Amino acid sequence: MQRNRIGLWAWAICLIAMSSTLAGCSKTSHADPAPSGKGVALRAEKSEAVAGASTEAVGTGWGTVKGTFTFNGTAPTLKPLSTGGKDGEVCDAHAIPDERLLVDSATKGLKNVVVYAVKVKRIHPDLEAAKSKEVVFDQKNCLFTEHVLPVWISQTMMIKNSDPIGHNTKFDGPGEPGFNQMLQTNSAAKPMAPVPFKFSRKQDNPLSCTCNVHPWMQCYVLPRDNPYFAVTNAKGEFVIDKVPAGEEIEFQVWHELSGPLAAKPEWSKGRFKLKVPADGTSPVDVQVDSSLFKL
């Protein structure tokens, strides 16, 4: 009898062990279903989307951006600047114009509007060859000879003084040590040697340049990391040549009385985009409302 009980217990233990093994196998089979391929496909689609987003179209050839900025309204008549008698023998020998708002009386062209490319992927070889070309920055008759001067930061500025009196020329900007130096008197007996200067970084907006000795003197210098810029002439005209064609380029427009010049409603913060055709021209002809300028 006792022997039979032992046998029954042994059979019971075996049955329990077999049940546990079968249950474990059942769980394993449900935990790892056959792959459907959807996860792999989704990962592949995501990778392609990321790759596509980082690829920007690069065009071929070169073109031109040109146009005219016309003043829409009645241009104010600005009086010559007062020197207060400072170095009057030189500074009062010529009327010193107020160059903040210059409008051509015949064409109503707006002078000293700056147009420049925000970023480019290519630079024309002819322009690359001009990297070492020097840019002259001068002051004469107690006035800066260029009221707005864009500069490619790879180029050296040669800072001059053509006056027979001294000037203290100063400009700086964010992250830029700038220039602040007394320029000696220039004369036939002792001509002033130009002072070389090179910007260390590009700027998004022009930098104000002043003379501490003659406080009415002011101009603007724009350091850029590409050569695609222009300043409108007396008739409001500008030309930017040898621009990368076939790819969208964003341009910034600026004037000293407005800062970023939103001459059109769609020009957010004074910016517009163009895709210049190869060997072609993209015109930018704009009427600028007088309300955008505050004297």
CA 76, chain centre distance (Å)? 31
| 93 three-state secondary structure | coil
In order along its 295 residues, the chain shows pLDDT tens digits of: 444 444 444 444 444 444 444 444 444 444 444 444 444 444 444 444 444 444 556 889 999 999 999 999 999 999 999 999 999 999 999 999 999 999 999 999 999 999 999 999 999 999 999 888 999 999 999 999 999 999 999 999 999 999 999 999 999 999 999 999 999 999 999 999 999 999 999 999 999 999 999 999 999 999 999 999 999 999 999 999 999 999 999 999 999 999 999 999 999 999 999 999 999 999 999 999 999 998 8
Cβ distance 206 to 222 under 8 Å?
yes
Asked: is 125-232 a CATH 2.60.40.420 domain? The reply is yes
Closest CA to 187 of 216, 165, 172: 165
**φ, ψ (nearest 5 deg) of residue 43:** -65, -40
Predicted TM-score of the model (pTM): 0.80
- Checking phi first, is residue 52 left (phi over 0); if not, alpha (psi -120 to 50) or beta? alpha
**φ, ψ (nearest 5 deg) of residue 133:** -70, 135
278: how many CB neighbours lie within 10 A of its CB?
12
- Neighbouring residues of 228: CB distance < 8 A, sequence distance ≥ 6: 116, 117, 120, 240, 243, 249
User: At residue 63, what is the residue type?
Assistant: G
